[in-house]
Chains A and B, each alone.
Chain A
Amino acid sequence: MGLEEKLPTGVLLTTVELAAGYARKGSLWPASFGLACCAIEMMATGAGRYDLARFGMEVFRGSPRQADLMIVAGRVSQKMAPVLRQIYDQMAAPKWVLAMGACSSSGGMFNNYAIVQGVDHIVPVDIYLPGCPPRPEMLIDAILELHDKIQHTKLGVNREREIAALEKEALAATPLHLQKGLMR
């Protein structure tokens, strides 16, 4: 009984997914997590010349509860790591992380005891953005790629299945701290 029985399989749900994805990507509010020089480029991206407002994300939120996207801009020190994780945990789902710049993606040139060698040791990263610092166009390009990912995010049961599959895959993969050579 209902509309879904009369429609071909999956039509209604996928349309809802499309609409939800469109709404989510259209007002992606970033939590500013500027830690170093990348934050300057992040601010430039928000300002008039590059104008993140064109993508509905001009409000950089200081409070994690109102943010969907954490742009980790800069090097994360060991001391900052628990703070970063707490901010991430406080953000309401669905949430995404963008590792901006070499330092937050992999530690960059700071391969030492003080810096976390990639923010993906602490939080799951959706988009890695190389550059030192990346120019605003690079950040916009990364954000647009993230938009594409958000647009194709599944909903409900499909999303649960997707998460289970990803979890299984992640458990089978080599842990980051065991990866050697250039993968470090």
Chain B
Amino acid sequence: MSRVPQIVRGFWVTFSTMFKKPNTENYPEQKDKYPPKPRFHGRHQLNRHPDGLEKCIGCELCAWACPADAILVEGADNTEEERFSPGERYGRVYQINYLRCIFCGLCIEVCPTRALTMTNEFELADQTRESLIFEKQDLLGPLMPNMVAAPHSMVEGTSERDYYQGKISRATDAQIAEVAARAGINANGQV
């Protein structure tokens, strides 16, 4: 083999790439073209039951499973006046430190009520440490149609078991009225 054909063969690779399609993902301009896979581990989300009550029961299993100690949960008892989740307890404080979190997904694996899941959102960069500690209000999922925000009572005549068996499909008129009454009281209190 002489030297010249080697060089030509080498540069031929370089030359031929000029006629190939670029494989660049133009990330910020065309971010919808290459979305992450559905299984991608992104930011967490605290889910709600179909009537808007929170699924988190404050058991702290996620905090125990977390290898990086990124999760802080403080549970508290539900009362008849202030009910956030069906059953006994709810997560009063829920914090995830995204600077510690390694997105391994052990927390969502252990969650017994599927309260904690992961979204595909990944644009999390920020300028301070404090802003990357997400509190409960940052993590709670959006209110879907037919949901009303906790605290409110359970659907009348149902128990905790009915919630987990999927017998609740939407907030009843009584619950909607209750939440509206609560908001009215608060508004009057502020005036």
Contact = CB atoms under 8 A, between A and B. Distances in A.
Interface residues of B, number: 34
A129 B124 contact: yes
Nearest to B17: A48
Nearest to B122: A138
Contacts of A130: 98-99, 101, 124-125, 132
Nearest to A102: B102
Contacts of A51: 24
Contacts of B69: 109, 111
A108 B97 CA distance: 10
By size class, the interface of chain A is 35 or more
B80 interface: no
A132 interface: yes
Given A106-B97, A107-B100, A129-B125, A181 B72 contact: yes
A131 B27 contact: no
Contacts of A48: 22-24
Interface in B1-44: 22-28, 31, 36
Contacts of B104: 132
Contacts, number: 102
B102 A132 contact: yes
Nearest to A109: B68
B64 interface: no
B68 A108 contact: yes
A106 B27 contact: no
B184 interface: no
A4 to B, nearest CB: 33
Contacts of A129: 124-125
A54 B23 CA distance: 13
B100 A50 contact: no
B28 A141 contact: yes
B62 to A, nearest CB: 14
A6 interface: no
3 A-B pairs with the lowest CB-CB distances in the bound complex, closest first: A132-B102, A142-B125, A106-B99
Interface of A: 48-51, 54, 102, 105-109, 111, 118, 120, 126-132, 134-138, 140-142, 144-145, 149, 181-183
Given A128-B99, A130-B124, A132-B101, 15 more contacts: A48-B22, A51-B24, A102-B99, A102-B100, A105-B99, A106-B100, A128-B129, A128-B132, A130-B99, A131-B103, A132-B104, A144-B28, A182-B72, A182-B100, A183-B97
